[in-house]
Amino acid sequence: MSKKTIVEFSRYPLSFGAIFLQIFLMVLMFMFAVFAFSSPTQALDSFEDTSLSGWAEDPFSHVGEGEFHHILTGPYGEEPSMAIFLNLTDPAHGYGVEKNPEGVSDWTAFKQIEVSLYMSNGTTAGVSIQLRGDSALNETWWESDIVGFGGGQDTLVFNITDFGGENRTLESVDSLSIRFQNADNGTVAYLTQVDMVLTPQGTKLAGVMMYGFVIFIFLSFILWEVGFSIREEQFRGTLESLYLSPANKFSNLISRVFAIFMWIAVIASIALVVVSNIAGGLPLNNIALAFLILFLTVSGILGMAFFIAGLTIRIKESAALLVNFLQFFFMIFCAAFFPFRALPSVVVDYVSRWIPVSYGVDAFRSVLIGFPKGYPELLPFEIEMVVVVLFGILSPLLGYLYYVHSEKKARIQGTLSEY
């Protein structure tokens, strides 16, 4: 790797930072948008609208060891107004065997949900638990019996099997909500945010977004730096002189790419740490395998960029437009910042599944977030790996061949320095 190229980048911090910042700001905007869609504040607000307002003067005092708890706070870390503690109980192993449901791999073991609620003294309510089944299976809602709930801290236990029969396990549960009722059994309020705890959303969603972001930032940089820099050099007139120099023109391109990789790695790590702090920790599993997938995917993207570089020699000033377009194209159709299920299934079947990068994105984040239910989304993991490996090996070869071909053609036609 050429030291010169690295130095060159540090001389132009803005151009380098620009691409990164753009994407980072975009992701940040999407995160804020997500907040607008699923803000827990509305759950709290609806409490305040009822006679149940004024709860929880000191909700933290009841957070004990061995309890899996979820504390409702405002979306941006405001003071909590109530706390909910959930314990998943495995009858075979006793209470609190698994302290951290994030690490649960076998959901079938859990037969009970224990709900601890804190309410200020003097308030009473009927509490029931609602479970929502797997949306993919078109399951409906199940609701438990209503249990009376007194003031202070109280714990309620519900059996999973009470809802949907003996075969019902937590694995088939997408979301859980708690319903509060008054004496006349009229609904007072729902807490719908509990699902963020039980399903691969919550920090896992942050994982999906951020790990997608990592691949996308590689993709973006490579497209601009490899695909587009050719065009820029054509414009500046340096391309022709580069060809005149005896140095291998391809090694010039490669050394540049390696310098970029180094920078992306540094910056992406910083971004991950920052977001991890905001989101309260990102899931992180099997890093070695994830790196392998990243490496192969990036190698495949590099091949695509060679192809585009070849194309930009021909299409000249439309190149910026093409790269711009491709950036958005991949952002959406490879579901870089969201799960594939956010896309209409027609789009997934007819577009996303035909782009190899999609499998890289899916496999990479599925590994890192620990294969929660529903991930990987496109194909079984083993088959996705086959696609990723083939992409990583074939794409650079084909891309390079096309690049050399179109370069040769340009030299025959003498259009190398034309713009």
Q: Which residues bind other proteins (CB under 8 A)?
A: 12, 14-15, 17-19, 21-22, 25-26, 28-30, 32-39, 41-42, 45, 75-76, 135, 192, 201, 205, 317-318, 321, 324-325, 328, 331-332, 337-339, 341-343, 419
Q: 296 and 388 in contact (C-beta within 8 Å)? A: yes
Q: How far is the CB of 117 from other proteins (least distance, A)?
A: 22
Q: Is the Cβ–Cβ distance between 217 and 268 less than 8 Å?
A: yes
Q: Which residue bears the tokens 């959930």? A: 86
- Min dist. Cβ of residue 155 to other proteins (A): 28
CB of 359 to other proteins, least distance (A): 19
- Give the span between the Cα atoms of 370 and 55, in whole angstroms: 37
Instruction: Write down the least CB distance from residue 229 to other proteins, Å.
Output: 14
Q: How far is the CB of 381 from other proteins (least distance, A)?
A: 21
What one-letter code names the amino acid at 115?
Answer: V
**Around 237, how many Cα atoms within 13 Å sit in the side-chain half-sphere?**
0
Which C-beta is closer to other proteins: that of 205 or that of 378?
205
Which CB, 214 or 322, lies closer to other proteins?
Answer: 322
Tell me whether residue 29 or residue 386 sits nearer to other proteins (CB atom): 29
* Count of helices and strands (H, E) across the chain: 14, 9
Task: Count other C-beta atoms under 10 Å from residue 154's C-beta.
Answer: 16
Report the nearest approach of other proteins to the CB of residue 214 (Å): 18
Q: Report the residue number, 128 or 327, with the smaller CB distance to other proteins.
A: 327
Q: Single out the residue of 4, 193, 248 nearest to residue 80, CA to CA.
A: 193
Whether omega before 376 lies within 30 degrees of 0, making that bond cis, reads yes
**Residue (of 223, 243, 406) closest to 323 by Cα position:** 223
Taking the least distance from each CB to other proteins, the nearer of 321 and 386 is 321
Nearer to other proteins, 294 or 323 (CB): 323
Q: How far is the CB of 274 from other proteins (least distance, A)?
A: 15
Nearer to other proteins, 44 or 304 (CB): 44
Q: Do 406 and 310 contact (CB within 8 A), yes or no?
A: yes
Helix (H, G, I), strand (E, B) or coil at 138: coil
What is the nearest approach in angstroms of other proteins to the Cβ of residue 394?
Answer: 29
CA pair distance 81, 43, nearest whole angstrom? 11
Instruction: Say how far apart CA 328 and CA 149 lie, in whole Å.
Output: 51
Helices (H), 177-283: 195-198, 203-222, 229-236, 238-244, 249-279
**Closest to other proteins by CB, 18 or 63:** 18
